[in-house]
Chains A and B, each alone.
Chain A
């Protein structure tokens, strides 16, 4: 009865996947280094979004300034929460569950502070982005920024992890923390660096979500579930795994929308399809996608 606009659906999936990737990288890397799931990660996403809104919409600053500030502020918050809260707890020998509960508490605190400052109702960036029609495909300027961000982030992270000292240190700590510190890797510095960059990238994903949709206090919380899914599917701590998993889930989500609509079902169920994908993949490859593709080289 209707024709599928495949290029557009492909493009939409890329956008969804890009947001997932930015949101998940930090979660995955900090999980592998500090060995607990950080629920406060959601709030780094939200804060980045609100900082972007503050500078770009309320103070009318340039897009690039707002963009950079989102990265820096969320990165600093992430760094701060690691040095002030999680690190001291870990030094006192707190097990994973304690750290996890602490992160949930921290997340709720930050979320309510954000709600006190900006209020609970949705806030929208009013900017009008340029738009191009290329054949069946419609592209807005905002999405080009998002794609450019993701490509440059991927290249920088790849180079960082593959060919710099700090990258090697990150991989070493992620593989075996005791061994790494015994050969002289400064675990603390490596962790701080990773928490900062991961938080900053989460902030960027929040910034783009706010530009695409609205700023709401639950913004990050809603992105956290896909972010965890990406982490699990890609393999904890694996950058390339997260990359593949983010786009796999981006496609799964958008294609499920088509399937569900064709079946006459509501599209809320796309989360379900999404998790079925994860369950199926994990049943087949319990160690995550990338580990089974490139066993041995864990990055």
Chain B
């Protein structure tokens, strides 16, 4: 019995000991394990947190530094740019046009220039723009004649080689190739239409020939040929599209339709407008300007329930468009028109004038505040015996003078060198069409638009400027 008892006791003791040992070991294990887990967890978390914190800290720090640097740089740059710009214009003004030609083009020492300076000129002398092109070419002829009279480029006579583009992009390219390959020109004034500039752009880039268009306004020229040999002395329609959008938004329009002629001018503006206010454009219509019957296009706009229309057209189609818009009662919505329909010819048709009076607000490039137009006009009348008979003649004159000055400054008849100097001289060039500084992609830096509308005075219609927009 005792022996059995002692066996039972020792068994019990053993069991208790085992339980205690297991519990103790468990507790100890728990703590030890916990500690280890904690440590490794801690380490992992620490590492990750540290890494992330460091990265974000670096970014935030960099951003703060960037912001500060940007602000300081901007204000300093702005100050410098402003005073420099003022100085440039003041200098240009002070010199006067002929004095500038004498000092910067004629009385320059450039021993490496060829004995004759060739300037190519691509103009639409026939075709749709023919009547206008013949006049615009006179701008280049006048500039060349003036420089030659004053002594030529660094003493060398200038020869203008004029080629017809026939208002046709493919003919423009053929004419351009002739100028470059047969005549060996390195600078070209023209062509006039955006479509023509688009056609010759890649070719002149490849051959390093500097091209300055007096009148092509399509945004596509900047998009397709940024930072290259294609320049223009007239504002890009990107800015005009922005001005139109601003007008429409200021007028409180929420649903807008675009109605544009189907060419680079119209579609270029449409593209910029719809990229700016995609969510507000309800309907986009591109029409054929030759068709002369737009009732269904206008019916579409009427049905779209818009409160504003952004319109791009020319006189011929514009008069029919506005007359038919009045017919269809579209004068109860607001119309915003680009400069293609600015001018007296629009007011010849009473219905078109009445529609513009009721519904249209427009934009157009503001005439330059300061320029040498008077000096240009005097020269022009002395040479041609009449007043300039088309727009853009003074632009063509400026384009030619700028190229000649760039050649004189470059000292060599080489496209790359002339291009570089052209950018440089533009910042102080004040011509017959105003201040001509280029931005970094060869477009005009200064672009201010005025807003216009038609008013009725004693039963007669008149177009007046009502404001200005800097896009």
Asked if A267 meets B287 with Cβ closer than 8 Å, knowing A1-B304, A2-B305, A8-B302, the reply is yes
A213 touching B320 by the CB < 8 A rule?
yes
B327 touching A138 by the CB < 8 A rule?
yes
A2 touching B282 by the CB < 8 A rule?
yes
B316 touching A267 by the CB < 8 A rule?
no
- A140-B316 Cα distance, complex, nearest whole Å: 21
- Tell which of B205-213, B345-353, B381-389, B446-454 binds the partner: B345-353
- Tell which of B35-43, B148-156, B293-301, B413-421 binds the partner: B293-301
In this complex, what residue of B is CB-closest to A123? Answer: B348
A268 an interface residue at 8 Å Cβ cutoff?
Answer: yes
Give the total of B residues in contact with A, Cβ under 8 Å.
Answer: 35
Interface centre among A3, A128, A216, A257 (most CB of B within 10 A): A257
B300 touching A261 by the CB < 8 A rule?
yes
- A121-B262 Cα distance, complex, nearest whole Å: 20
Our pick among B295, B297, B300, B319 for the contact of A2 (Cβ within 8 Å) is B300
- A13-B296 Cα distance, complex, nearest whole Å: 8
Least Cβ–Cβ distance between A18 and chain B, in angstroms: 12
Least Cβ–Cβ distance between B135 and chain A, in angstroms: 15
Least Cβ–Cβ distance between A113 and chain B, in angstroms: 19
A214 touching B320 by the CB < 8 A rule?
yes
A213 touching B292 by the CB < 8 A rule?
yes
Least Cβ–Cβ distance between A1 and chain B, in angstroms: 6
Least Cβ–Cβ distance between A15 and chain B, in angstroms: 7
Our pick among B283, B287, B299 for the contact of A9 (Cβ within 8 Å) is B299
A266 touching B288 by the CB < 8 A rule?
yes
Which residues of the other chain, B, contact A213 by a CB distance below 8 angstroms? 292-293, 320
Our pick among B282, B292, B297 for the contact of A267 (Cβ within 8 Å) is B297
Which residues of the other chain, B, contact A216 by a CB distance below 8 angstroms? 316
Asked if A222 meets B288 with Cβ closer than 8 Å, knowing A2-B303, A267-B262, the reply is no
- A128-B326 Cα distance, complex, nearest whole Å: 11
A126 touching B297 by the CB < 8 A rule?
no
Our pick among B287, B305, B327, B349 for the contact of A131 (Cβ within 8 Å) is B327
Least Cβ–Cβ distance between A232 and chain B, in angstroms: 21
A264 an interface residue at 8 Å Cβ cutoff?
Answer: yes
A122 touching B329 by the CB < 8 A rule?
no
B328 touching A8 by the CB < 8 A rule?
yes
B293 touching A126 by the CB < 8 A rule?
no
- A14-B155 Cα distance, complex, nearest whole Å: 70
B93 an interface residue at 8 Å Cβ cutoff?
Answer: no
B interface footprint on A1-20 (CB within 8 Å = 1, 0 otherwise): 11111001100110110000
B290 an interface residue at 8 Å Cβ cutoff?
Answer: yes
B177 an interface residue at 8 Å Cβ cutoff?
Answer: no
A254 an interface residue at 8 Å Cβ cutoff?
Answer: yes
Which residues of the other chain, A, contact B350 by a CB distance below 8 angstroms? 126, 128
Interface residues of A in 5-43 (CB under 8 A from B): 5, 8-9, 12-13, 15-16
- A264-B329 Cα distance, complex, nearest whole Å: 24
B interface footprint on A202-225 (CB within 8 Å = 1, 0 otherwise): 000000010011101000001000
- A126-B320 Cα distance, complex, nearest whole Å: 11
- A126-B328 Cα distance, complex, nearest whole Å: 17
- A131-B295 Cα distance, complex, nearest whole Å: 14
B286 an interface residue at 8 Å Cβ cutoff?
Answer: yes
B284 an interface residue at 8 Å Cβ cutoff?
Answer: yes
Which residues of the other chain, B, contact A261 by a CB distance below 8 angstroms? 283-285, 297, 300
B interface footprint on A111-148 (CB within 8 Å = 1, 0 otherwise): 00000000001101010110101000010100000000
Interface residues of A in 245-294 (CB under 8 A from B): 253-254, 257-258, 261, 264-268, 270
Which residues of the other chain, A, contact B293 by a CB distance below 8 angstroms? 16, 212-213
Least Cβ–Cβ distance between A127 and chain B, in angstroms: 8
Least Cβ–Cβ distance between B10 and chain A, in angstroms: 95
Least Cβ–Cβ distance between B303 and chain A, in angstroms: 4
Which residues of the other chain, B, contact A257 by a CB distance below 8 angstroms? 296-297, 300
Which residues of the other chain, B, contact A253 by a CB distance below 8 angstroms? 296
Which residues of the other chain, A, contact B286 by a CB distance below 8 angstroms? 265-268
- A2-B297 Cα distance, complex, nearest whole Å: 13
Asked if A258 meets B300 with Cβ closer than 8 Å, knowing A3-B305, A122-B316, the reply is yes
A140 touching B327 by the CB < 8 A rule?
yes
- A105-B121 Cα distance, complex, nearest whole Å: 35
Asked if A124 meets B349 with Cβ closer than 8 Å, knowing A2-B304, A138-B327, A222-B290, the reply is yes
Least Cβ–Cβ distance between B317 and chain A, in angstroms: 9
In this complex, what residue of A is CB-closest to B315? Answer: A122
In this complex, what residue of A is CB-closest to B352? Answer: A124
In this complex, what residue of A is CB-closest to B300? Answer: A261
In this complex, what residue of A is CB-closest to B349? Answer: A124
- A258-B301 Cα distance, complex, nearest whole Å: 10
In this complex, what residue of A is CB-closest to B128? Answer: A120
Which residues of the other chain, A, contact B295 by a CB distance below 8 angstroms? 8, 12, 15
Which residues of the other chain, B, contact A258 by a CB distance below 8 angstroms? 296, 300
Least Cβ–Cβ distance between B453 and chain A, in angstroms: 21
Known: A8-B303, A212-B320, A270-B288. 12 other contacts (CB 8 A): A1-B282, A2-B282, A3-B303, A16-B293, A126-B349, A138-B329, A213-B292, A213-B293, A222-B291, A258-B300, A261-B285, A268-B291
Can you pick out 23 interface pairs between chain A and chain B where the beta carbons lie within 8 Å of each other? A2-B283, A2-B300, A8-B299, A8-B302, A12-B295, A13-B296, A16-B293, A124-B319, A126-B350, A128-B350, A138-B328, A138-B329, A212-B293, A214-B292, A257-B297, A258-B296, A261-B285, A267-B291, A267-B297, A268-B286, A268-B287, A268-B288, A268-B291
Binding site for A on B (CB under 8 A): 262, 267, 282-288, 290-293, 295-297, 299-300, 302-305, 315-316, 319-320, 326-329, 348-351, 354
